[in-house]
Structures are given as C-alpha cells and as structure tokens.
Amino acid sequence: MDFDTPEEHELLRDSVAQFFDRELPEEQIRAHDQARSIPREIWSRFAELGWLGLSISPDHGGSDADVLTGAVFCEELSRRFPSLAMDWVLLSMTARMFREHGTEAQKAEYLPRLAKGEFIMSFGMTEPSGGTDILSLTTRASQADGEGGEGGPWTVRGQKLFTTFAGDADAILVLCRTDPIENNKRARGLSLILTPRQQPGVEVRKLELMGMRAGGTSEVFFDDATAPADALVGERGRGWYALLSSLDEERILSAAIYVGITAAALDIALQYAKDRAAYGRPIGAFQAIQHPLADVATELAQIRLLTQKAAWLLSQGRECARESAMAKLAASETAIRCTDRCMRVLGGYGLVEASPLERLFRDARLGPFSPISNEMVKNFLGERMGLPRSY
C-alpha cells in the first residue's frame, strides 16, 4: 500500500495555488461571489491551462486525466473558490456525457469546444415538485416528423429548479420524458435533450442562494423551447441510465469540494490562532483553541483518505458506489462541523465578509443536500448493507 503523493499531483496543486495568487486573489473572488457570477474569461483561462480538458481525450483536445487527478484539482480549487469548483464539476460531467454517450458527430463537435472553453453547458434535472425524486419529473419533449421518415426538431416544455450555471450556459442538457412509462418503471422513457439557451422559449431566473453564490444556480422555464433533431444525447428513453453511470464520479468530485473547504478553513483558523494574542500569548497556546483544531485536522485526514480511496477505485475501473457515497456523505457533514469550529476560533472576525472563512462557512451549507441529499445517501448505503429498501 503506497501513500506517497504522485509528483504530478503536487505539481497540479502548486499550479492551482499559483493561478489564484497571480490571477484570482481573494478580493476578486469576493467580488465574483457578491456579483453571483463567474466571468467567462476565467473559463477561457482554464482552457489555456488545460484544466477544462482534464476529463476529455487527447483526440478531442484534452489530457484524459483520471478521476483521482480530478479530485486533487477540485480540492485545490475549493480551497480558494468553491463556487468555481462546483461549476468545474458540472463542466466535467457534461464532457463525460458526450464522451460516453454522445454520437461520433457530437463528440467531434462539442468535446473540443468544451476543452477550449468555447461551449458552456448546464444540466437540467431537478424540478420543483420532485427534488431528490428525479423520476417524478414533468418536463416533456416531443419530436416533430422530419423529411424521409427521420425525426425533426424537438420541442421542450417544463420547468427545472436548482440548475447550476444555467444563466451562463450556451445550452442546457435537459432530462425530460420523451416516451410513456412502461410497466410502472418511471426510469424508462426519459431522454437527455441538448437545448440551446439563447431562444425565446427558454427563461432563466437566477436564485439568490446563501452559499455557492457565484455558481449561478437558477430556475429554468421551457415554454415550447426548440432543439435540433440531433439534440438527443445517448439512447432515446435511456437518459436516466446514462446519468446513473456518472453518479460515482459526481459524488467523488463533490466530496473533494468539501475536503478543500475543510482544508482552507483549517489553514485560516491555524494562522489566526498563531497571530492573535490574548493574555500575553497567542490564543493557539490555549487548549480551548488547540483541541477543536486538532479535531478538524483529524477529520480532514479522514475525509481526504476516504475521497482518495473512492477516486482510486473508480480510476481502476472497480466498483465504488458505496465508497463514493460514503465520501460525499462524510466530506459534506465534516465541512459543516469544521467550518463552524474554525469560525468560533476567529470569533467576530469570522463574520466579516472580508474574511474568506465567512464565504467558506456559507458555501459548506450546500453539501448536505447537493448533488444528492445526505438522507438519500444514507438510504442508499442502508440498502447496500443488506437492509430493506426505504425509498
């Protein structure tokens, strides 16, 4: 068992840290957080550095990095700007959809553009009436008849909620019902339709969340929106199953976000404990400060190892559904506890918006219910442990 960190991972961590120090300092991050958006030029810069193509094959302009490398990258992004990491995960997942389920024509068209930052996509899954119960969705898509017996353009009608990045995207990959339910199996008959955003039939309303504000989470209304005949990604009626194949990677990368948040909170609190003096010595000399920080350091090591193990398993092509779910559960809950402990070390200074910890504290609050609620994760784990299914 080898716990040595690969040199390329250390180089990646260093390059991300240098990028933030040089091009995206805390003052700019705070401004983007307050503006609730991430400028397009940041994604262009990511493309120049090769970071948008990590999950894309070299044939299409990427580097074909494994999920373990993606988790390292995601953790480092989250140490500075979790909203940016959340959007990067979304871009990585959309690239995966084309890579694994797209036609050759779709791969040739979209993957190089994704790697270059020329094409930005969003996912439309959650709906107001369903939440975690994705299969209760009501969004519909129908296809007109085309010439020569081929299918024509698609028409999409419905509403999606908590759609990250929708306002900045060029297109939204919409999960919708295209065919009737078969034998009471709701998962059948769902398809993924790539729907252009800039059209009269698509309305995006940004939601003002407490945390991950720059991520651009929105609700989207499709009022007879149109999509071209070749907008179907994957097999018709099998869109849900295509999404299932991406869940492990999404949960691992989400866990890495909260590992990064926890690590950053610890760094900030440790530095403050060394610099802040009371009663003639640094407050870090007091056990009331040392003990909670020791707890944070211990829990950080635990969630990082759990996340790395899940990522390693997936990179080896091995079963990791349970490990990826555990990593997401543990990392998100740990980030909640640890940002709270670190906030108490800073006291009132932690509440000041100029403090990065104030933003990290807010951003961590998304973890327990995104991309899946931790209650649902526990249901899944219970079933995997041999208990009766509870949902």
Domain ranges of the chain: 7-120, 122-238, 244-384
The domain covering 122-238 belongs, at the CATH homologous superfamily level, to Butyryl-CoA Dehydrogenase, subunit A, domain 2 (2.40.110.10)
What pTM was computed for the model?
0.96
Distance CA 65, CA 58 (A): 10
In the prediction, which pLDDT does 75 show? 98
- Write down the CATH number for the domain with range 7-120: 1.10.540.10
Report the DSSP pairing between strands 281-282 and 202-206: unpaired
Which CATH class name applies to 244-384? mainly alpha
Output the pLDDT for position 34. Answer: 95
* Parts of the chain with a pLDDT under 70: 1, 147-149
What would you report as the CA-atom Rg of the chain, rounded to the nearest whole angstrom? Answer: 22
What is residue 385's DSSP assignment? T
Does residue 105 sit in helix, strand or coil? helix
DSSP codes of every residue in 133-195:
-GGG---EEEEEE-GGG-EEEEEEEEEEEEETTGGG-SEEEEEEE-S--BTTBTTTTEEEEEE
- Per-residue pLDDT at 247: 92
Asked if 261 and 363 count as a contact pair (C-beta separation under 8 A), the reply is: yes
Residue 93's DSSP bridge partners are: none
Q: Report the distance separating Cα 318 and Cα 17, nearest Å.
A: 31
For residue 36, give the 3-state DSSP assignment: coil
| Residue 148, pLDDT score | 62
Closest CA to 26 of 347, 268, 355, 340: 355
At 149 the pLDDT is: 60
d(CA 391, CA 383) in angstroms, rounded, equals 10
Q: What burial class does residue 64 get, using C-beta atoms within 10 Å of its C-beta: 0-12 exposed, 13-18 middle, 19+ buried?
A: middle
C-beta of residue 153 within 8 angstroms of C-beta of residue 143: yes
